[in-house]
């Protein structure tokens, strides 16, 4: 089965061509530069940029794959969650195209696509379905932070989520307080790698809470007050590195300890992680050390599959179709607030 997949939920315009579970192409047009001057994603601008880039990116995906749109057996696009104007452009444009070409069209849940992205093998460019094990999965992105128990492929339920800011938002907002450019997460990660994570102590919100929810807004506020009290620290590069390392340590500590506690309580032998923040070196190292210490195996989404991409959308669609999901034309609208749970048994 040949699938053209589209992703436009936030600030990446992405397309991919999948052929019998193999990624043939997956170009991405990033909007990071456009939003950088506003310090965050502006939904209306994101939508206009998707309008400009979607067809060229889809055409590029088809050309790179050596295929034509008429060769496709299915079109799949992210239906939600995400920024409504951004989702609308990709989802409805390709829903209409599929209708005009009389091809089946399915909507994919963005979080579910992230959830299974650790199974994408960047060497074979396929999902490594055979090595599946029940796992606790940490999805950490700019919009969401959640812990999911995955009992078997495509059978999962959310056991915890953030009650306010997402981990990526916490990285981006604290980086902004430090005067770093947008998106702050990768910049803070880079500076943190040279700093002392014990130089300053920031709160570890909800770490002692017995449940699996997260909260990051208090940590952001504590960084704000700290900087107001010690503005001179930002002038010195060494201190700035230490601040970054200390903030990152607080975020990573909470993510790693809660994920590990969930895994031990659920008695699974594997942890997986995905979403933009899973690129963070502190988090990757922290999860690896915790898994080594507890005899668990770890799978983190690799390289370009951590952040938003269309390959994960197409591969999830392929996995679902292979597992018996219906191939009807989806005539619904976008689902900006689509929660992962409602998806579990579809
Ligand atoms: O999954 P993603 O591409 O988009 C959403 O679905 O939100 O995640 C983007 C988020 C941003 O907040 C970005 O700052 C963060 O992932 N991020 C990082 C790193 N790379 C990306 N955060 C910390 N360290 C990184 N290396
Ligand atoms: Zn995402």
pLDDT digits 0-9 by tens, 295-323: 999 999 998 999 999 999 999 999 999 99
Closest listed residue to residue 193, CA positions, set 272, 271, 259, 279: 279
pTM above 0.85, yes or no: yes
With cut-offs at 50, 70 and 90, classify the pLDDT of residue 149.
very high
- What atom of ligand 1 comes closest to residue 190's alpha carbon? 26
With cut-offs at 50, 70 and 90, classify the pLDDT of residue 202.
very high
DSSP letter at 119 equals G
**Is pLDDT above 80 for 345?**
no
Q: What pLDDT shows up at residue 325?
A: 84
Q: What pLDDT shows up at residue 324?
A: 86
Contact 184, 235 (CB under 8 A): no
Nearest CA to ligand 1 atom 20: 186
The 10s digit of each residue's pLDDT in 284-302 is 999 999 999 999 999 999 9
Which residues have CB under 8 Å from 122's CB, separation 6+? Answer: 302, 303, 304, 305
Nearest CA to ligand 1 atom 13: 185
Which residues have CB under 8 Å from 52's CB, separation 6+? Answer: none
**Is pLDDT above 60 for 45?**
yes
The 10s digit of each residue's pLDDT in 128-140 is 988 999 999 999 9
Test site for ligand 1: of 172, 185, 280, most ligand atoms within 8 A of the Cβ: 185
C-alpha atoms less than 13 angstroms from C-alpha of 334 in its C-beta half-sphere: 23
Please give the average per-residue pLDDT across 165-184, as a whole number: 94
**Is pLDDT above 50 for 178?**
yes
Mean pLDDT of the chain: 95
- What atom of ligand 1 comes closest to residue 175's alpha carbon? 14
With cut-offs at 50, 70 and 90, classify the pLDDT of residue 21.
very high
> Does residue 343 or residue 80 have the better pLDDT?
80
Please give the average per-residue pLDDT across 13-30, as a whole number: 97
C-alpha atoms less than 13 angstroms from C-alpha of 94 in its C-beta half-sphere: 36
- What atom of ligand 1 comes closest to residue 183's alpha carbon? 14
- Lowest-pLDDT choice from 153-167, 207-221, 300-314, 329-343: 329-343
- Lowest-pLDDT choice from 202-206, 240-244, 259-263, 298-302: 202-206
Q: What pLDDT shows up at residue 208?
A: 87
Q: What pLDDT shows up at residue 66?
A: 98
Please give the average per-residue pLDDT across 195-202, as a whole number: 97
The 10s digit of each residue's pLDDT in 96-115 is 999 999 999 999 999 999 99
Strands (E), the chain: 2-7, 12-19, 22-25, 28-30, 74-80, 105-109, 120-121, 126-127, 135-140, 145-152, 155-161, 270-274, 297-300
Give, as residue ranges, everything with CB less than 5 Å from ion ligand 2: 141, 308
Q: What pLDDT shows up at residue 344?
A: 39
Q: What pLDDT shows up at residue 292?
A: 98
* CA 276 – ligand 2 centroid, Å: 7
Nearest CA to ligand 1 atom 14: 185
With cut-offs at 50, 70 and 90, classify the pLDDT of residue 94.
very high
Test site for ligand 1: of 46, 87, 139, 142, most ligand atoms within 8 A of the Cβ: 142
Q: What pLDDT shows up at residue 124?
A: 97
* Residues with a CB atom less than 6 Å from ligand 1: 10, 141-143, 168, 171-172, 183-186, 189, 275-277, 279-280, 307-308
Which residues have CB under 8 Å from 153's CB, separation 6+? Answer: 116, 129, 132, 319, 323
Place of tokens 């650790």: 118
* CA 114 – ligand 1 centroid, Å: 12
Test site for ligand 1: of 43, 276, 304, most ligand atoms within 8 A of the Cβ: 276
**Is pLDDT above 60 for 343?**
no
**Is pLDDT above 50 for 225?**
yes
Please give the average per-residue pLDDT across 176-200, as a whole number: 96
Q: What pLDDT shows up at residue 33?
A: 87
**Is pLDDT above 90 for 346?**
no
Question: Could you tell me whether strands 297-300 and 270-274 are parallel, antiparallel, or unpaired per DSSP bridges?
Answer: parallel
């Amino acid at each position: 089965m040949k699938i053209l997949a589209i992703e436009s939920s936030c600030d990446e315009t992405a397309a991919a061509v999948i052929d019998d579970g193999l990624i043939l192409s997956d170009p991405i047009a990033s909007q990071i530069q456009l939003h950088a001057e506003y310090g965050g994603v502006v939904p209306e601008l994101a939508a206009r940029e998707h309008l400009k880039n979607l067809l060229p990116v889809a055409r590029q995906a088809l050309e790179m794959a050596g295929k034509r749109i008429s060769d496709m057996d299915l079109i799949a696009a992210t239906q939600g969650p995400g920024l409504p104007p951004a989702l609308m452009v990709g989802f409805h444009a390709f829903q209409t195209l599929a209708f005009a070409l009389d091809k089946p069209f399915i909507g994919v849940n963005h979080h579910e696509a992230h959830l299974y992205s650790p199974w994408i093998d960047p060497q074979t460019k396929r999902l490594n379905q055979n090595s599946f094990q029940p796992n606790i999965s940490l999805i950490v992105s700019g919009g969401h932070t959640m812990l999911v128990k995955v009992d078997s492929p495509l059978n999962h339920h959310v056991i915890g989520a953030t009650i306010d800011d997402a981990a990526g938002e916490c990285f981006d907002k604290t980086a902004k307080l430090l005067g770093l450019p947008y998106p702050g997460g990768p910049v803070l990660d880079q500076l943190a790698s040279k700093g002392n994570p014990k130089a300053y102590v920031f709160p570890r919100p909800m770490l002692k809470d017995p449940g699996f929810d997260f909260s990051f807004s208090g940590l952001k506020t504590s960084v704000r007050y700290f900087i107001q009290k010690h503005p001179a620290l930002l002038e010195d590069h060494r201190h700035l590195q230490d601040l970054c390392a200390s903030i990152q340590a607080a975020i990573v500590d909470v993510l790693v300890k809660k994920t590990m506690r969930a895994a031990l309580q659920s008695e699974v032998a594997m942890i997986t992680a995905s979403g933009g923040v899973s690129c963070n070196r502190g988090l990757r190292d922290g999860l690896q050390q915790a898994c080594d210490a507890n005899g668990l195996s770890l799978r983190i989404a690799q390289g370009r599959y951590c952040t938003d991409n269309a390959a994960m959308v197409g591969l999830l669609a392929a996995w679902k179709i292979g597992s018996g999901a219906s191939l009807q034309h989806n005539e619904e609208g976008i689902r900006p607030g689509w929660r992962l749970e409602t998806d579990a048994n579809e």
